[in-house]
Copies of this chain bind each other. A is one copy, B any other.
């Protein structure tokens, strides 16, 4: 398989696949013409990476997860811990975004949105804090 094939099969851009080779996540063979030559195992690893990335794991997390996956004598506790830590970060991000959302949403609601200049969004940002609570 050439890179185009694995790209369409894995859903990952060719650029990304080359990048993953660069940073040592995959090690495809090379054909005589210099093209990367992927086997089923490479495709499998790429699919693994794609799913892990889609769950928001960092590249370093992915590296660890793949090492654990290949380690037959792993303890599932190690995997779970990694996932739990990641889950915690996601929860933190969601909370942060939710707070931004709530504040901003309130400001947007209170803004007339017409052709006059008066705007509670700008008032808030400027520190006048016209909290119309």
Contact = CB atoms under 8 A, between A and B. Distances in A.
Contact of A76 (B75, B77, B101, B117): B117
**Secondary structure dominating the interface of A:** helix
A7 to B, nearest CB: 17
A103 interface: yes
A83 B108 CA distance: 7
Per assembly, the copies of the chain total: 2
A111 B68 CA distance: 14
A75 B115 CA distance: 4
A86 to B, nearest CB: 7
Interface stretch (A14-22, A27-35, A43-51): A43-51
Contacts of A126: 44, 48, 69
B87 A105 contact: yes
Nearest to A107: B83
Interface in A32-88: 44, 47-48, 51-52, 54-56, 65, 68-69, 71-77, 79-81, 83-84, 86-87
A72 to B, nearest CB: 6
Interface in A89-123: 90-91, 93-94, 97-98, 100-101, 103-105, 107-108, 111-119, 121-122
